[in-house]
Copies of this chain bind each other. A is one copy, B any other.
């Protein structure tokens, strides 16, 4: 199956399906120049690198294997990719292939955006989270100790190849983390999908191929539509950050990596819903319904013990949606209807935070 991300002049396909990693026809179609640098990590490399290499036989292929984990998504790791590229040396036509999860896609994508001021990038996501969210749309970044994804670029890939067979090797915790982003699409703008997820959450956790394929396709269609409408996040695209302002605060506070991104986003979505309830936008029963879905998906719904409202506010102050000293938040008018706003009472936010922190 193919979904196109429709950007003026730079449209690109997302391929979704089984058995795609070794498809030389797809790789031949999209790899530019004779040189290829595969950026992957120590977990993914033994599983999928050898599956991919034969399909790249006609290229001059190099590999960079990074340590695994969000804590390595930093400038130092980025520089190790530049070291590898320059030691070859790789030229400006080199295609960088990001083979791995969200961390690999973000850091290898940012390396592609910066190396010689930009080289072609092919995203090959191997986790659910990367397949439904981070590999699509061109956001690349590394973390700073003071804030998540604070350093990066909008840089679109030439294609995304999402091989659903790779999900079979995914640790259950990573699968659940990805489900948080899947549920997010339902919450922000696709109520029908949210209802479908409530029906099929068990099948997804059992890795039922048809259910997974549907969830990935529907998520990518949602993402592709929003990105096409607002590539640079001047408006609608910010809605994709439901739960992320609270979630990033948790990730920054816990030092990147002890909480998975999707876990932090799950809690963040609950917190955004709580504020929406307090503002009279959605009903408590709506929130409970989603909390139930998140719990069924095996996701946390409360922030880490010991995290105070002040800690949240400190980290939230460096969110990218801050404008004129005020954090804009993604809130819900209804399940399936999100909006971005700074029109909330600070006292209500504080009450909401206090309710979660004890």
Binding site for B on A (CB under 8 A): 33-34, 75, 78-79, 82-83, 86-87, 89, 91-93, 113-118, 139, 141, 144, 146-147, 150-154, 232, 317-318, 320-325
Contacts and interface: CB of A to CB of B under 8 A. Distances in A.
B33 A114 contact: no
A89 B317 contact: yes
Nearest to A320: B116
The 7 A-B pairs at the shortest CB distance, nearest first, are namely A86-B146, A89-B318, A91-B322, A116-B320, A117-B152, A114-B151, A92-B320
Contacts of A154: 117-118
Given A151-B114, A153-B114, A83 B320 contact: no
A62 to B, nearest CB: 14
9 contacts: A75-B75, A82-B150, A83-B146, A89-B147, A91-B323, A91-B325, A92-B323, A115-B151, A118-B232
Nearest to A34: B324
- Residue picked from A151, A154, A320, A321, most chain B C-beta under 10 Å: A151
Given A83-B146, A114-B151, A92 B318 contact: no
A220 to B, nearest CB: 21
A329 to B, nearest CB: 14
B323 A86 contact: no
A146 B92 contact: no
A154 B115 CA distance: 11
A318 B84 CA distance: 12
Given A82-B144, A86-B144, A89-B317, A115 B150 contact: yes
Contacts of A78: 75
Contacts of A324: 33-34, 91, 93
A323 B151 CA distance: 29
Contacts of A325: 91
Contacts of A83: 144, 146
A79 B75 contact: yes
A115 B141 CA distance: 10
Contacts of A152: 114, 116-117
